Amino acid sequence: MLVTTKNESNTLIPEVWRELAQLDEIIHNVTIQHHGKEYRYADLCSRWGDQCYENDILGLGSFMEEVANGEAHISYPIAYHPYLFDIYITGHFLNGIEYAPDGYNLESVKSILLHYFLVSEGSPEEKER
């Protein structure tokens, strides 16, 4: 899913990242019915071990206030959480980028790519879903 703002402005603002978190929650909680059974994303997602793939890039939202006021920066193609030292592959998720004058940190991002992988192979019951 490619996400932009309505006016295709910079997405590196706290409000956008709060809305992304809400969108992600909606996608995880939406239910569908098929042949009398109800399914959620967790029932249909492609798994790594026993976990659904998660959009870890959403972790950038936890310090977007600091980014917006210049206290923290997001680098490209790899960024680090300034407090937790989590690693984010920004080169895969952030598009339409503009660099800050330092040529390393981001000044603007036009769109964010989120992934929601679904099971494509499996038992006949899983394929029926």
In a domain, 129, yes or no: no
User: What are the pLDDT digits (tens) for 20-79?
Assistant: 999 999 999 999 999 999 999 999 999 888 899 999 999 999 999 999 999 999 999 999
In a domain, 12, yes or no: yes
Domain hosting residue 43, numbered range: 2-123
CA distance 105 to 94: 12
In a domain, 103, yes or no: yes
In a domain, 72, yes or no: yes
In a domain, 102, yes or no: yes
CA distance 106 to 8: 16
In a domain, 119, yes or no: yes
User: What are the pLDDT digits (tens) for 67-92?
Assistant: 999 999 999 999 999 999 899 999 99
In a domain, 99, yes or no: yes
E-state strands within 5-127? 31-34, 37-40, 47-48, 51-52, 79-80, 87-88, 94-99, 106-113
